[in-house]
């Protein structure tokens, strides 16, 4: 990918992603150059952060990207590193504590790098899961409101509503029973609250 295309994509995507990820207050500088030194970055991109000052530098090598989707995905990945920046304080403290102990420092650094990358991957999965859920809700329309009563009819309605929203049967039943118990308590009749049958 050439530099002008990469710059256009990042300029268009960065502000919205920063807002979506809750980091619009960070000052983020973007640099375009070859990326070296960090084996975890695969020569594509790197994120350097100063959590205390809420500043970061994202470095991208445009030549390493085949298409816009790959660049967008990498931009999002690097921004998740910014989201996790508060953990850098812990990393700095541990690094200082084991200074001079090369064997211990190397083990801890390997564990740290792996844990951070796994967290970033999990955040990416969560991000896509949230987007997928929002799309599902948009397509399905608004959820069916739960009835606030504690009768068998109200409970049956609520189980059906929760199952229609995609919840497993046991989860739908638990939500319906909990809603009925709260309604009975609010009505001053907690003894009328339904009990879950024991197996």
pLDDT in tens, 143-193: 667 778 888 888 888 888 888 877 788 888 888 888 888 888 888 877 776
Q: Is the domain of 74 the same as that of 122?
A: yes
| 78 neighbors 45 (Cβ within 8 angstroms) | yes
Q: Is the domain of 118 the same as that of 162?
A: no
User: In the prediction, which pLDDT does 136 show?
Assistant: 67
Q: Which residue has the tokens 């504590």?
A: 97
The CATH number of whichever domain residue 112 belongs to comes to 3.30.2010
Q: Is the domain of 71 the same as that of 126?
A: yes
Q: Is position 144 within any domain?
A: no
pLDDT band at 58 (very low <50, low <70, confident <90, very high): very high
Domain that holds residue 176: 152-192
Q: How far, in Å, CA of 62 to CA of 2, rounded?
A: 6
Q: Count Cβ neighbours within 10 Å for each residue of 112-136 and write b for 16 or more, e otherwise.
A: beeebeeebeebeeebeeeeeeeee
Q: Is the domain of 126 the same as that of 164?
A: no
Q: How far, in Å, CA of 150 to CA of 179, rounded?
A: 8
SS3 assignment, position 88:
helix
Q: Is the domain of 36 the same as that of 59?
A: yes
Q: Is the domain of 96 the same as that of 172?
A: no
pTM of the model: 0.62
User: In the prediction, which pLDDT does 134 show?
Assistant: 75
Closest CA to 60 of 36, 76, 44: 44
pLDDT in tens, 84-142: 998 888 888 888 888 888 888 888 888 888 888 898 888 988 888 888 777 766 676 65
SS3 assignment, position 143:
coil
How far apart, in Å, do the first and last CA atoms of the chain sit?
61
């Amino acid at each position: 990918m050439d530099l002008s295309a990469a710059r256009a994509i990042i300029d268009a995507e960065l502000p919205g992603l920063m807002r979506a990820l809750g980091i619009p207050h960070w000052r983020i500088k973007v640099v375009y150059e070859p990326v070296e030194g960090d084996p975890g970055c695969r020569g594509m991109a790197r994120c350097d952060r100063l959590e205390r000052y809420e500043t970061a530098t994202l470095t991208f090598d445009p030549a390493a990207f085949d298409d816009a989707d790959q660049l967008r995905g990498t931009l999002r990945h690097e921004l998740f590193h910014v989201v996790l920046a508060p953990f850098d304080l812990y990393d700095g403290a541990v690094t200082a504590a084991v200074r001079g102990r090369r064997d211990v420092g190397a083990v801890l650094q390997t564990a740290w790098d792996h844990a951070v990358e796994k967290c970033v991957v999990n955040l990416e999965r969560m991000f896509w899961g949230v987007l997928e859920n929002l799309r599902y809700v948009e397509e399905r329309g608004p959820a069916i409101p739960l009835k606030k009563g504690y009768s068998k009819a109200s409970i049956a309605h609520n189980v059906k509503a929760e199952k229609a929203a995609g919840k497993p049967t046991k989860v739908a039943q638990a939500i319906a029973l909990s809603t009925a118990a709260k309604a009975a308590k609010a009505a001053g009749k907690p003894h009328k609250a339904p009990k879950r049958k024991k197996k």
